[in-house]
């Protein structure tokens, strides 16, 4: 009796339900993406909970929409940057993400000597979290101010810029 050594075929892609990704699983994957990307750019980079080096950067991932954060940090410690990713739920009677966001902004302004970013999302999508983590890959001393940050570029803005650079014949204008 012969047996087939190949495993049974997996079900083909179809219109089945997507697997549910829990928020903490997405955070774990985003942190792994961050570490892998940082090491790809600079294999000598070191990660730590605390550092005695010249510049210390900390990323706070805050996920509570109904609890305002409280902090007791020194005012703008030397060479310290705080970045915040705020993952929140939609506003309801039980939570107010805007009040929590405002408290996080106050903490960021109180603590960071250099340009710290506060990035937020209420979508709950892992790819949005990954994009936010990738924004934080830049060194705090090499960042533009967050108001000037335009990542990712909006497709509509690109389309308008291309249309503006074309003449009436539809050919691109060279500079």
Structure confidence at residue 100 (pLDDT):
93
Structure confidence at residue 48 (pLDDT):
59
| Average per-residue pLDDT for the chain | 75
- Ordered by start, the domain boundaries in the chain are 23-43+54-143
Averaged pLDDT, 78-96: 88
Structure confidence at residue 119 (pLDDT):
92
CA distance 165 to 29: 40
pLDDT one-digit tens code per residue, 31-74: 888 888 888 888 877 765 554 457 778 888 898 888 888 877 77
CA distance 99 to 97: 6
More confident residue, 102 or 163: 102
Is the entire prediction scored with pTM above 0.75? no
pLDDT one-digit tens code per residue, 95-127: 889 999 999 998 888 888 788 899 998 876 788
CA distance 116 to 83: 5
> Who's near 80: CB < 8 A, 6+ residues apart?
55, 56, 57, 58, 111, 112, 113, 114
Residue 80 scores a pLDDT above 70: yes
Cα-based distances in Å from 47 to 13, 53, 99:
39, 11, 32
Tell me the residue ranges of DSSP E strands in 93-166.
118-121
CA distance 8 to 63: 41
């Amino acid at each position: 009796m012969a047996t087939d050594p190949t495993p049974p075929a997996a079900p083909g892609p179809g219109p089945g339900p997507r697997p549910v990704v829990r928020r903490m699983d997405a955070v774990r994957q985003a942190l792994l993406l961050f570490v892998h990307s940082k090491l790809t750019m600079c294999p000598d980079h070191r990660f730590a909970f605390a550092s005695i080096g010249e510049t210390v950067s900390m990323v706070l991932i805050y996920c509570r929409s109904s609890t305002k954060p409280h902090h007791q940090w020194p005012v703008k410690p030397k060479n310290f940057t705080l970045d915040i990713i705020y993952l929140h739920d939609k506003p309801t009677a039980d939570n107010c993400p805007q009040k929590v966001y405002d408290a996080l902004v106050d903490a960021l302004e109180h603590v960071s000597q250099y340009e710290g970013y506060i990035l937020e999302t209420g979508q709950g999508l892992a790819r949005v979290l990954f994009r936010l983590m990738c924004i934080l890959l830049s060194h705090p001393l090499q960042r533009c101010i967050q108001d000037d940050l335009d990542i990712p570029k909006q497709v509509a803005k690109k389309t308008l810029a291309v249309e503006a650079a074309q003449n009436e014949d539809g050919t691109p204008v060279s500079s």
